[in-house]
């Protein structure tokens, strides 16, 4: 069974599928060495650079949080939070769910 997609469609999903189909056809036309080099570079990028970027973002967020804490922004934001006190104090507000 072969699925034929219309080349000129208004549907975004069909457009994306056609783009993938053309890209895969171009990929298959490339020489084997070019495909291997491209695949190796993509593995290096995904294996080394992306975890390094995530680590740098983690460290920078820790330092940004530290800066916000030390500059008083965290205390200022915490002071703006309103906590409403319950009008009941004691055992009168505890609901009885049938327990003795």
Whether residue 5 contacts residue 17, with contact meaning beta carbons closer than 8 Å, is answered with yes
| Tens of pLDDT, residues 45-87 | 889 888 999 999 999 999 998 888 888 887 888 787 777 766 6
Phi, psi of 56 (to 5 degrees): -65, -40
In terms of pTM, does the model score above 0.85?
Answer: no
What is the residue extent of each domain of the chain?
1-30, 41-74
What is residue 89's predicted lDDT score, i.e. its pLDDT?
57
Distance CA 69, CA 81 (A): 16
Both tokens of 59, joined, read 């460290």
């Amino acid at each position: 069974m072969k699925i034929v997609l219309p080349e000129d469609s208004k549907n975004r999903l069909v457009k994306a599928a056609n783009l993938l189909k053309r890209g895969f056809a171009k990929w298959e036309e490339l020489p084997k060495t070019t495909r291997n080099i491209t695949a190796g570079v993509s593995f290096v990028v995904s294996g080394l650079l992306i975890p390094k970027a995530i680590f740098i973002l983690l460290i920078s967020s820790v330092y940004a949080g530290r800066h916000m804490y030390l500059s008083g922004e965290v205390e200022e934001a915490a002071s703006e939070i309103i906590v409403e006190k319950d009008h009941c104090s004691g055992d009168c507000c505890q609901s009885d769910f049938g327990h003795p």
